[in-house]
Amino acid sequence: MAVRGGSNIGLIISNIMFALAFITALVLVINVDAKKEEARQEAQAAKANLVAAIGPGVIEQAPGYDAAQMNNQSVVAQLSGQIDTLKRLIGTTTADEQRIRTDLGFESGSILEIKGRMENQLGALSSDNEALVNRVSEQDATIEALRDEIDALEDEHQESLVRVRKDVETYRAQADSYGQDVDRTIKRLEDSRDALEQDHRSERRRLQEDIDRIGQENQVLAERNRDYEGKFASTRLRATTPELLIDGQIVETEPKTGSVYIDRGEEDRLILGMRFQVFDSAEAITVSDDGETSGSKAVIEIVRVGANTSTGKIINSVPGRPIQRGDALVNAVYDPNRRFTFMLHGIFDVDQDGRATEAEANYLRSRIRAWGGEVIDGDTLPGDTDYLVLGEQPIRPLLPNANASQAQLDTYLKQRGAFDRYDELFEQATAASIPVLNANRFFLLIGQTDR
């Protein structure tokens, strides 16, 4: 009984709790309905205020209104979502138009226009990119060609190195052979030098003996020459008649220039620089007991020699006694019958064409003989030579190479001998006071200037 009573009490309590929960829920529903109605009324009032503010039907015509109704959203929420979508599409964080234009880099135009311009820029950039790609391709091709060329050059370089190494080996072998030849040549040259020195010492002894002998002969000849000169002078200057002393005549005078012309020339063996005393006539010539002449009124020097006549320059004269045509000329030692001796050595360039030849030396010999002179042949300069005529000076030869042949050595020795002999003759003539001429001076001496 007690248990049953406890169960009834629990049931009663449960019913009471249920009743209380129901009443609470009912109160809540009533409150919610009241608030909902209040919200609906406020929404209607706000809508009425909005319609009054913007005009009827504007909201229904707003973009996104239908989508907002379908999605059970407000137009603002729908537009905010679209704006967020556009911002994500554009890639910006703001909805400000100026900011968006600044971010896009365009100050005017719609999005589509901006898109068109950007597409144009993209096209231009694509063209530039394509051109750059083509240039890169060309550069790649050029680089590839250069690589091929470098490879070819490298191959050629390697081949050249191989050839050079072979040449070096060949040259080394030849150098060794040449070294042996040089040693043999040096030995031969030393032997030749010893032989030449021996021959030179022998030749010097022989020449010294000849010099001593010739010196003695020269002393004898000099004594005879002095005797002959004394006899010649006494015979010529102490002639019984003055007419025998006359050597020529004045044929014309030029007082303004101080020049005279005489009747003697190349054919009479007249020599440039020769001097003559001038007399009025043969009767004016006075010879003293010692053979000296006196009574001359002038002295002339020959400055130009022609074939039959010559030109003289007045050196000094006696005032008041002018030189006239027909005046007599006297030179104590001039003898038209004397034969001057000339020694020719070497080859000559008479025609001045730059080539000295033996034929031109022979031409000079013929001119000396035609002039009445005597030509001395050989390489030895006699002491009684009147003139030494030297040709073109030989070039000093270069020493032959160590591997020169015997023929080359002989040629060198011959050329060196000619070079040394030329200098020796010049020094001998200078020491003996023998005049040394070249071809031009020879022709000037004999008066031949119209070559």
Positive or negative torsion for Cα 254, 260, 266, 268:
positive
Can you tell me the mean pLDDT for 380-398?
Answer: 90
Can you tell me the mean pLDDT for 193-201?
Answer: 71
Phi, psi of 324 (to 5 degrees): -130, 165
User: How much is the mean pLDDT over the chain?
Assistant: 78
Judge whether residue 261 has pLDDT over 90: yes
Domains and their CATH numbers in the chain: 244-330 (2.40.10.410), 341-445 (3.40.50.10190)
Judge whether residue 89 has pLDDT over 70: no
Distance between the two ends of the chain, CA-based, in angstroms? 189
- Of residues 126 and 388, more confidence is placed in 388
Looking at the DSSP bridge assignments, the partners of residue 305 are 310
User: Residue-wise over 316-334: b if at least 16 C-beta within 10 A, else e?
Assistant: ebeeeeebeeebbbbbeeb
pLDDT of residue 118: 74
pLDDT of residue 222: 46
Q: Determine the Cα–Cα distance for residues 281 and 278; give it in Å rounded to an integer.
A: 9
Judge whether residue 239 has pLDDT over 70: no
Share of residues in the chain with pLDDT > 70 (%): 73
Can you tell me the mean pLDDT for 116-127?
Answer: 80
Residue pLDDT, tens place only, 266-305: 888 887 888 899 999 888 888 776 656 788 999 999 999 8
Is pTM beyond 0.75 here?
no
Confidence of residue 237 (pLDDT cuts 50, 70, 90): very low
Judge whether residue 249 has pLDDT over 80: yes
Judge whether residue 240 has pLDDT over 50: no
Closest CA to 299 of 321, 272, 320, 329: 329
Judge whether residue 409 has pLDDT over 60: yes
Per DSSP, the residues of 5-29 read HHHHHHHHHHHHHHHHHHHHHHHHH
Judge whether residue 86 has pLDDT over 80: no
Residue pLDDT, tens place only, 14-68: 778 777 777 887 777 787 777 777 777 877 776 677 666 566 665 666 565 676 6
Whole-Å CA distances, 64 to 58, 75, 97, 105: 12, 6, 20, 29
Starting at the edge strand that comes first in sequence, how are the strands of the sheet with 436-437 ordered? 374-376, 341-345, 387-390, 436-437
Cβ atoms within 10 Å of 140's Cβ, excluding its own:
10
- Of residues 68 and 373, more confidence is placed in 373
Per DSSP, the residues of 225-278 read HHHHHHHHHHHHHT-SSGGGG--EEEEEEETTTTEEEES--GGGT--TT-EEEE
